[in-house]
């Protein structure tokens, strides 16, 4: 996987120019002035991680936040944004240091946290982890979001789906290519 941090408009590939993907990058990375939007221009699928914040205008995007930007269990919402919201572009945003990477290493902390914070017993918490962790664990943030973008592009062939990478270090977006 190769990432290209966009720090100048000339780095945006021609196929993304004059699309909501270029607008998103412009707002986030290039300080583009926030304009009033009357309806959503794209769907953003991004991780639920609280350390990420997009700089975009109100009403600019539908945003689905899920662990690792995994939209497998959110397809009806994706379809809704496309069918009812008339969305033609999806930006899938991975980020560095994602908590969904190597979930197995967090098993004990997860179980203890549910027992302590939610009042669950240990067996229930462990069963919950074992049932769901395999669905949400990812090996590599960038590789996962590229594969997820390909999956969604195959499912919705009329939609442009673009994998992006968000750096927690500088809050900038990069394009990902494989």
**Predicted confidence pLDDT, tens digits, the chain (178 residues):** 799 999 999 999 999 999 999 999 999 999 999 999 999 999 999 999 998 899 999 999 999 999 999 999 899 999 999 999 999 999 999 999 999 999 999 999 999 999 999 999 999 999 999 999 998 999 999 999 999 999 999 999 999 999 999 999 999 999 998 7
> What is the model's pLDDT at position 26?
98
Structure tokens at 13: 């590939």
**Residue 65 β-bridge partners:** 46
Q: Which segments are annotated as binding site for Zn(2+)?
A: 47, 49, 95, 98
> What is the model's pLDDT at position 40?
97
pTM: 0.93
Q: Are 42 and 32 in contact (CB under 8 A)?
A: no
Q: How far is CA 64 from the centre of its chain?
A: 8
Q: How many of the other CB atoms lie within 10 Å of CB of 167?
A: 15
> What is the model's pLDDT at position 15?
96
Q: Which segments are annotated as binding site?
A: 47, 49, 95, 98
Structure tokens at 60: 């600019």
> What is the model's pLDDT at position 25?
98
Q: Are 80 and 40 in contact (CB under 8 A)?
A: no
Give the chain's domains with CATH numbers.
2-100+139-177 (3.40.1050.10), 102-137 (no CATH)
Four-residue CA torsion sign, 135, 136, 139, 142: positive
Q: What is the DSSP letter of 101?
A: B
Distances (CA, A) of 157 to 15, 62, 91, 113, 152: 16, 19, 15, 41, 8
Q: Are 138 and 20 in contact (CB under 8 A)?
A: no
> What is the model's pLDDT at position 93?
97
Task: Tell me which residue of 162, 142, 150, 151 sits closest to 16, measured CA to CA.
Answer: 162
Span 48-76, pLDDT tens digits: 999 889 999 999 999 999 999 999 989 99
Task: Tell me which residue of 140, 68, 148, 143 sits closest to 100, measured CA to CA.
Answer: 68
> What is the model's pLDDT at position 177?
82
- d(Cα 107, Cα 113) in Å, to the nearest integer? 10
- d(Cα 87, Cα 74) in Å, to the nearest integer? 15
């Amino acid at each position: 996987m190769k990432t290209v941090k966009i720090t100048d408009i000339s780095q945006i590939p021609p196929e993304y120019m004059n699309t909501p993907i270029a607008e998103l990058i412009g707002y986030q990375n290039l300080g583009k002035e926030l304009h009033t939007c009357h309806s959503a221009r794209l769907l953003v699928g991004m991780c639920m991680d609280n350390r990420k914040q997009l700089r975009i205008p109100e009403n600019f995007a539908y945003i689905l936040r899920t662990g690792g930007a995994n939209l497998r269990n959110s397809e009806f919402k994706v379809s809704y944004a496309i069918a009812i919201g008339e969305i033609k572009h999806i930006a899938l945003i991975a980020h560095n240091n994602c908590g969904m990477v190597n979930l197995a290493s967090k098993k004990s902390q997860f179980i203890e946290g549910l027992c302590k914070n939610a009042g669950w017993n240990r067996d229930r918490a462990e069963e919950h982890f074992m049932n769901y962790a395999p669905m949400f664990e990812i090996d590599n943030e960038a590789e996962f979001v590229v594969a997820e973008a390909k999956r969604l592009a195959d499912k919705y062939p009329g939609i442009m789906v673009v994998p992006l990478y968000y750096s927690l270090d500088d809050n900038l977006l990069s394009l990902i290519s494989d």
